[in-house]
Amino acid sequence: MERKFYISSAPHITDSDSIPKIMYSVIGALIPAGIAGIYFFGWQAFWVIAIAVITAVLTEGIIQFLLKRPLSIGNGSAILTGLLLAYNVPAEVPFWLPAVGAFVGIAVGKMSFGGLGYNPLNPALVGRAFLTASWPVYMTVFQTAPRGGTLSGIDLSNIDAITEATPLNIFESAREILLHKSQFTDKVPDAMQALSQLYSSYSNLFIGKIGGCIGETSALLLLIGGFYLMYRRIIGWKIPTTFIVTVGLLTWIFGGTDGLFTGDPIFHILSGGLILGAFFMATDMVTTPITFKGRFIFGVGCGILTTVIRLWGGYPEGVSYSILLMNLTTPLLDRYTKPKKFGGK
């Protein structure tokens, strides 16, 4: 009896890693931070996450069904987009908001370009940018204090000039006062006190006992997830490191109120969405450069833009916009940072 054999081009073996494995690993790495979000902000945070994830998956599935494309919702990428979007909104938003964000992120940010692999921008951040532009109040005014803590992570009860808000909001208003001392002479002592308190409240920032978006508060748990992904070699070290180091350096140089080199880099690294952004969004494979140098420049660029927005821009936080803007430079970075080939000049 004659045997029949498979025919294919070499290589005849492949690595066991696959798109679903990568996506579910990232999802797994994000789960601890999500649990922290639910713990600190209550069940409403859970519902926001659930709604965003379900909407993202349904949107992708329905669009693929309508376009008669193969269904790919099983590969985890839609779940990941929903999860990241939810992590980027405050816990107390109305429930339709994450649904709209996830829908826009998937439909406009991803499927309109052809689905996974073809989207130029991070879909979750497209959704978030859409929500921030459309419903800025929902997206930037935080009300839910974390369980057992305050929005700002510090005690503002004796400080009248500063209203309770997230650490970055407090930083922005206090800095505003201190940079224009002559206009706010009566508020200067309060602002100084608030800033010094902020700068000594690292532990709350680190654990996540502060106000903010659902998934971005706990630097500790995000770092654990991020290092796990680095260990699994799903994300590289270049973008997170250059992003964070750039923000640290620039905020140290320019972020102070008494001239250059008086800023507090650690405060800036731990607050807001920097850790979440640097480890989980600026490392999105599809929308970031593939070359060594490209990734380096990408991270530095994200760091510069984040700092510019935080210190001189209208928003207290700039991580999302900086990543979106740098996403747009990815094709160019790839083109101009090709590695020198072996034996090449």
Partner 1 sequence: MPLKKTFKGGVHPPEQKNWTEKKKIKEVKAPETVIIPLQQHIGSPNKPLVEKKDTVKMGQVIGKSSKFVSAVCHASVSGTVTAVEKRPHPLGINVLSVVIENDGNDTWQEKPKKDNNYMKLSNDIMKQRIQEAGLAGMGGAAFPSHVKLSPPDDKSIDCVILNGVECEPFLTADHRLMLENTDEILAGLNIIMKILDVSKAIIGIEKNKPDAIKKMGKRTAKMDAVSVLPLKVKYPQGAEKQLIKAATGREVPSGGLPMDVGCLVHNVGTTLAVYEAVSSKKPLIERVVTVTGPGVKKPGNVKVRIGTPFQHIIDSCGGYKKNAAKIINGGPMMGISQITDEVPVIKGTSGILVLDEKTAQLHKEKPCIACARCVDICPMQLVPSHIASYIEYKDVDKAQKTGLLDCMECGSCSYICPSKRNLVQYIKLGKMIWNEKQQAK
Task: List Cα–Cα distances, 172 to 146, 304, 343, in angstroms.
Answer: 21, 17, 52
Task: Name residue 90's beta-bridge partners.
Answer: 213
| Residue closer to partner 1, measured from CB, 169 or 327 | 327
CA distance 241 to 248: 10
Smallest separation, CB 13 to partner 1 (Å): 5
In angstroms, what is the minimal distance from the CB of 233 to partner 1?
8
CA 140/CA 71 separation, integer angstroms: 35
Nearest residue (CB) to partner 1, 23 versus 168? 23
Residues that bind partner 1 (CB under 8 A): 3, 5-15, 17-19, 21-22, 114-118, 236, 285-292, 295, 334, 338-345
Residue 334 Cβ vs partner 1, minimum distance, rounded to whole Å: 8
Closest to partner 1 by CB, 21 or 192? 21
Write down the least CB distance from residue 84 to partner 1, Å: 16
| Residue with Cβ nearer partner 1 (11 or 314) | 11
Specify the residue, 12 or 157, whose C-beta has the smaller distance to partner 1. 12
74 or 189, CB closer to partner 1? 74
94, 69 in Cβ contact below 8 A? Answer: no
CB of 293 to partner 1, least distance (A): 11
Rounded least distance, CB 120 to partner 1, Å: 11
Q: Map residue 105 onto helix, strand or coil.
A: helix
User: Using CB atoms within 10 A of its CB, is residue 167 exposed (0-12), middle (13-18) or buried (19+)?
Assistant: buried
Cβ burial of 113 (10 Å; 0-12, 13-18, 19+) is middle
32 and 76 in contact (C-beta within 8 Å)? no
| Residue length of the chain | 345
